[in-house]
Structure 1
Amino acid sequence: MRRDHFLATSIDTLVEHLVAEYSVTPLTLHEEQRSMDREEAQIDVTGRFDYAQAHSGPTIAKGFRFTFFYPFSGDANLWKLRPNTWSTVLPSAEVDARRSLLIIRIENTSSASPEQLKQTLDSQLSNIRNYIGWQAQMLSAFNEQLPRQIRESVETRRKELEKLDGVSAVFDIPLVKKPGMPDFKPIEMAKKVSRPLPRVPATGVKPEPAINAEAFEEILRIIRHAGASFEGTPQTYAAIGEEGLRDNMLSHINVIFEGKATGETFRKYGKTDIRIEEESRSAFVAECKLWGGQKLLGETLDQLLGYLTWRDCKAALVIFNKSVAGFSGTQEQVRPALTTRPGYLRELSAPSGEWRFVFQSKEDPSREVTVHVFMFNLYVAPDRAGKKR
């Protein structure tokens, strides 16, 4: 793999690509799809006690040959490998890797009973099933530890390359927390084909700064805390529109962090609601929107991705529901609306009631954008609107 791939591609994508490449799919015999062929045959019965041999050379008798075809899935090379657990009786069959078929042939004289033929086939199949099962146990253990081993190797390789080039792929954005500001106490909340790697320029990769994980999580905690306070007094915000909610959220961020957060700033193809930038490039962007259905949510995501120019950038979608009474039903629409968008890569873990996704940059497939999605419920029933708490 090219050195630039390790610098231009996120660790998660590299791990995902390599795990898919090096994991081994165990064999599965699809017995329910079996088929059979039969024909008359000349059977060599030399040495059988039930056939007297009055001459030298082979003894041939009339008989039948049955050919059974069993489709299989998994890595065909596994048929050539013996598991750690094995028996002295080896399975006997022919493997057609091109058609993914296991072919078992059974032949006997015309005097053989149907029960004898079936017993021979059942014995062969039982032996084959045992070997498949023993292999599957070994492969399960191998595939289970593979992601961890690959991640460790990728992280080590990236560190080596960064050290060799004398660069760091991620520089912390200098978000300075104001002296004396308390930490938020986290709310107790309950918390899944090999994808081709993106192309990277032949000229190499220039490392770019990005907001670090700690700063990103701190900003998300502020948004989470502010949104919870909005939900606690929804009547207060009943008359406030999208811009007012954005300004209120922005003030919460600027109370904690000095100076870097600005609102409604022109950037690239449009305006973004909240951004934190360094060296004139947005490292964090948040888009605040009133809920208007799945279509609007998808369009908002496209708008958000259009602002972002950095590799491994962090972003947030903050959705306020003021119009729909069934909030749980509204929440259920978030995941299908976003995971079907072009450029979707994967979903990451997030607290209950929130979502976190990774997308490809719209302008450069080697760049990835992490988008954390919040949805806050500010719906006020008509019979309660305007009433004092």
Structure 2
Amino acid sequence: MNLDKRILLLRHKKGVHVMFSIYNSLFSKEELSHYLRIAKETIKRNINNEDENYILNIGEEGFLSYLLNEYQIDYISIKEHEAHSEIIVEEVSAEYFPNHLYGVNPGRTYKQNVVYFYLPIEGRSELFFCRPSTFTSVFPRAALRGENIIFKEIQFNQTAEEINEEYISFVHLLKTYINFTNKDLEEFNKTLEGFIRDVFLTRKRDILKRKEMEAALIVPVRIKESVSQTFSIPTPKMKKKINVKPSLKLNDQNFEPTPTLANDTYASILRIINDMGKEFERKPSVYANKGEEDLRDHFLMLLEPHFEGSATGETFNKKGKTDILLRHNGNNAFVGECKFWKGEKSFLKTIDQLLGYLTWRDSKTAVIMFVRNKDFSSVLKIAQSAISKHTNFVRFNNREDDTWLNYTFHLNGDKNKELQLALMMYHTE
């Protein structure tokens, strides 16, 4: 018997179900690629519609993490272990009866047992109608109502075993298409972070360029008086964890540009420090008996000639003394802390100490650890594990080499003010 005729929609009439139309094919209505393209267009539109001051003031990594969590698409699946069935007596149209087995009259209906299988689903229901990039000539046909796929078999002369075989065959085809779909979703999610970051940074860069233009005009630009003072928390979707949008403090609503160290300059400073640190490792007999201040001074001797600001040691900065402080035009451009490795607890205190020195204007930092332990590899693993547990940790960015890793942290008491922290470790046995 044709499967299209077995899988039908139903309605109620005098307490008896009556057949009236054919179920739709799943995974066949809209191309999944089109659905995903629309999803990216929506993300771009939503980012571009954000308030400008929000874009300029919000902690970049925190907001990007929120967007990624908000727009990632969960895989679809069925809960086979929660499936259930029922048998209902229905009025079945004569056209659905096998003519060679039953003598039925066209246009009439006859009572027949109908077996219903209910398969709960997980994921966005609309994805069960989207055609993935890989598909076959046969699509699973069923109804999708709420959180359930409904598959049904009209019982004519089939045994229970034969009906079960039909159900198993249907589930196998359904799972095949679910796998096809999830493969496309996996590729979409892999590229999503880069896409969101590019859209956000492009918007931020465009706003900053315009504001620089406004600041350069002889005639000042009128400031809008109706700047929004509140930012909403989006309603979480069903089956997704609550994803709270980062918000600004009231005094952060109006953006004011702050001089910051350019990323390429920051990278140059770190490269100089790294080159000197590797020199310590190559010539242990020269540097073995040096203390923290002596080793720090070698960094300072290399840094100061390279930059127009001044590189000074033991300079008081807000709450205490820091080992390396670069200043430019009265602003702190780079803050670094040098310490000998004394274990995980001491390491985390070093990060606390560094963060305690920082002001709102400090955004480029480094923790430089001198390690005398023989098992240097073990210390590296401990440090990498410990740093991600710090309360100000935001994300790991990249590894420049085996002992130089870059992270994003946030300032004490202000998650929107993010700062770059390089962890640089050298074996000075």
Q: TM-score range by the shorter chain?
A: 0.7 to 0.9
Are 1:361 and 1:368, in contact at CA under 8 Å, matched by a contact in 2?
yes
Are 1:311 and 1:369, in contact at CA under 8 Å, matched by a contact in 2?
no
What is the match of residue 300 of structure 1?
350
What is the match of residue 320 of structure 2?
270
Give the TM-score taking structure 1 as reference length.
Answer: 0.78
* 1:129 correspondence with 2:175: yes
Partners of 1:373 and 1:118 in 2: how far apart?
Answer: 61
What is the match of residue 37 of structure 1?
84
SS of residue in 1 equivalent to 2:415: coil
* Post-superposition offset of 1:229: 1.4
What is the match of residue 332 of structure 1?
381
Partners of 1:281 and 1:143 in 2: how far apart?
Answer: 40
What is the match of residue 418 of structure 2?
368
* Post-superposition offset of 1:364: 1.8
* Post-superposition offset of 1:285: 0.6
Partners of 1:9 and 1:342 in 2: how far apart?
Answer: 18
Equivalent positions of 1:33-72 (< 5 A) are 34-47=81-94, 48=97, 49=99, 50-53=101-104, 57-61=108-112, 63=113, 65-72=115-122
Partners of 1:40 and 1:77 in 2: how far apart?
Answer: 28
Structure that is richer in helix per residue: 2
Partners of 1:26 and 1:168 in 2: how far apart?
Answer: 46
Partners of 1:198 and 1:368 in 2: how far apart?
Answer: 14
After superposition, the C-alpha distances for 1:195-218 in whole angstroms (9 at most, x for unaligned) are 733425464121111111111111
* 1:257 correspondence with 2:257: no
* 1:104 correspondence with 2:150: yes
Are 2:277 and 2:426, in contact at CA under 8 Å, matched by a contact in 1?
yes
Partners of 2:182 and 2:176 in 1: how far apart?
Answer: 10
Moved more, 327-336 or 310-319: 310-319
Amino acid at match of 1:209: P
- Please provide the CA RMSD for this pair: 3.0
Structure 2: unaligned runs, 5 residues or longer: 1-49, 216-240
After superposition, the C-alpha distances for 1:148-206 in whole angstroms (9 at most, x for unaligned) are 4433332332233123323799xxxxxxxxxxxxxxxxxxxxxxx76733425464121
Amino acid at match of 2:110: T
Moved more, 263-272 or 87-96: 87-96
Amino acid at match of 1:357: Y
Are 1:8 and 1:200, in contact at CA under 8 Å, matched by a contact in 2?
no
Are 1:8 and 1:205, in contact at CA under 8 Å, matched by a contact in 2?
yes
What is the match of residue 407 of structure 2?
357
What is the match of residue 217 of structure 1?
267
After superposition, the C-alpha distances for 1:249-285 in whole angstroms (9 at most, x for unaligned) are 2222224335511111111122111111235442211
Structure 1: unaligned runs, 5 residues or longer: 170-192, 380-389
Amino acid at match of 1:25: D
Amino acid at match of 1:127: L
Are 2:140 and 2:170, in contact at CA under 8 Å, matched by a contact in 1?
no
Are 1:91 and 1:127, in contact at CA under 8 Å, matched by a contact in 2?
no
Amino acid at match of 2:72: S
What is the match of residue 232 of structure 1?
282
Measured at CA, do residues 290 and 247 of structure 1 come closer, stay the same or move farther in structure 2, by a change above 3 Å? same
SS of residue in 2 equivalent to 1:199: coil
Give the TM-score taking structure 2 as reference length.
Answer: 0.71
Amino acid at match of 1:374: M
Are 1:210 and 1:311, in contact at CA under 8 Å, matched by a contact in 2?
yes
- Between Structure 1 and Structure 2, how many residues are aligned? 347
Partners of 1:82 and 1:325 in 2: how far apart?
Answer: 58
Partners of 2:308 and 2:208 in 1: how far apart?
Answer: 31
Amino acid at match of 2:376: F
SS of residue in 2 equivalent to 1:332: helix
Partners of 1:168 and 1:267 in 2: how far apart?
Answer: 33
Are 2:92 and 2:109, in contact at CA under 8 Å, matched by a contact in 1?
yes
Amino acid at match of 1:341: H
Which residue of 277, 289, 307 maps to 2:339? 289
After superposition, the C-alpha distances for 1:272-329 in whole angstroms (9 at most, x for unaligned) are 111112354422110000101111111111111122224571111100112x221111
Which residue of 125, 137, 144 maps to 1:94? 144
Are 1:37 and 1:67, in contact at CA under 8 Å, matched by a contact in 2?
yes
Measured at CA, do residues 56 and 208 of structure 1 come closer, stay the same or move farther in structure 2, by a change above 3 Å? closer
Partners of 1:239 and 1:168 in 2: how far apart?
Answer: 56
Moved more, 149-158 or 116-125: 149-158
Partners of 1:11 and 1:266 in 2: how far apart?
Answer: 29
